[in-house]
Copies of this chain bind each other. A is one copy, B any other.
């Protein structure tokens, strides 16, 4: 029933700390990049889905964020859906745009994700993070933490760390294995000129970095950041009218939200990737490269298991074997991942897409994976019950 949909252009800003650059400028750079890459322009777009998480907190710009950033680029008059889904905003935007094209509502659509997190008022960053949870519940947790003299800023990292602890207890996963993942991503980032950090870390340096909450050190956690990323997509019929296009097919676009998961129930990442594999007719053994949501290096370890790249409990040894490094069986986060490329929340899912598109087209420069034909992105966001509040998984093929 659904039509084939192709990504014909991607663009992204460098990720980093850009205090003097406004959201409109970031969006313009990403969108212009995607246009240049696709050979299309503002007048060709028939629908846009725009994801952002924190602009409202920082400036009061809520409601019509997409229309506001697209208008200075000469774009308007077509439907715009502004979407939110915490750190999974951008994959939600791509999913919405994919649905518009695949269902035949339009032939050409734009997906855009954008974020500015650096701000002089640092408490706004905290507020943006809490917005990805049930704020009533989180405010209670924070109040309790402060009463007991705890630093409220570590609460969320504590929650992430406690998942890592469980894995360590159950499977013997070591802190060193987490550091291997982080060091691998730091090394990848040295080959990505758009990465926020491009600095090599040895495993020892990762372990010796500032402790956040055991087993996590600073080098194992994603920084905050500013940036934007965009994709221009089109239908198969429209593609036939283009000369010199470099299409990458969206073989599966799957969105889901988390739930209260009982013991033995399948994690959202496993449920959604199973669906993506079914839709695409592919399996984890077919995936050549993946960009996964390594908000912490433990999250990457869990993703490699839940996506079926290795068996449950084997994520640590799998990383240690070099399987997920450049040159390994299935390179993961060649971009440097959220840990090093950076994590401007609303932009992340489309930055993952851009990396996979460049890899599949053989345009990834020093970090190119040879003969990569099939790639996967996994983008999670927020927390609800005991799962991510939202997750988008895409499988791309060339």
B-contacting 9-mer, from A59-67, A156-164, A289-297, A329-337: A59-67
Chain A 76-119 interface mask (CB, 8 Å, partner B; 1/0): 11111111111001001001100110111100000000000000
A1 interface contact, C-beta 8 A: yes
Q: With A1-B103, A85-B81 given, is the CB distance from A76 to B130 under 8 Å?
A: no
Listed residue (A76, A92, A385, A390) with the most chain B CB atoms within 10 angstroms of its CB? A76
Residues of B within 8 A of A258 (CB): 67, 76-77
Q: What is the CA–CA distance of A260 and B323 in the complex, to the nearest angstrom?
A: 53
Whether B105 pairs with A390 at a CB distance below 8 angstroms is no
A2 in complex: contacting residue of B77, B92, B104, B268, CB < 8 Å: B104
A232 interface contact, C-beta 8 A: no
Specify how many copies of this chain sit in the oligomer: 2
Q: With A56-B131, A103-B2, A103-B99 given, is the CB distance from A63 to B382 under 8 Å?
A: yes
Q: What is the CA–CA distance of A135 and B63 in the complex, to the nearest angstrom?
A: 10
A83 in complex: contacting residue of B57, B71, B81, B256, CB < 8 Å: B81
Residues of B within 8 A of A128 (CB): 62
List residues 210-261 of chain A with CB under 8 A from any CB of chain B. 255-260
Q: What is the CA–CA distance of A271 and B76 in the complex, to the nearest angstrom?
A: 13
Whether B64 pairs with A132 at a CB distance below 8 angstroms is yes
A78 to B, closest residue via Cβ: B257
Residues of B within 8 A of A89 (CB): 63
A389 interface contact, C-beta 8 A: yes
List residues 29-68 of chain A with CB under 8 A from any CB of chain B. 53-54, 56-57, 59-68
The interface size bin for chain A is 35 or more
A384 to B, closest residue via Cβ: B67
Q: With A81-B85, A257-B79 given, is the CB distance from A71 to B384 under 8 Å?
A: yes
Whether B79 pairs with A255 at a CB distance below 8 angstroms is yes
A344 interface contact, C-beta 8 A: no
A131 to B, closest residue via Cβ: B62
Q: What is the CA–CA distance of A68 and B1 in the complex, to the nearest angstrom?
A: 32
Q: With A1-B103, A77-B257, A258-B76 given, is the CB distance from A62 to B53 under 8 Å?
A: yes
A144 interface contact, C-beta 8 A: no
25 A-B contacts (beta carbon < 8 Å) = A1-B103, A56-B57, A60-B127, A60-B135, A61-B131, A62-B131, A63-B382, A64-B257, A64-B390, A67-B257, A67-B258, A71-B134, A76-B260, A76-B384, A77-B256, A77-B259, A78-B256, A79-B257, A81-B85, A81-B255, A82-B83, A82-B84, A84-B84, A99-B100, A99-B105
Show the binding face of A for B, using Cβ within 8 Å.
1-2, 53-54, 56-57, 59-68, 71, 76-86, 89, 92, 95-96, 99-100, 102-105, 127-128, 130-135, 255-260, 268, 271, 381-382, 384-385, 389-390
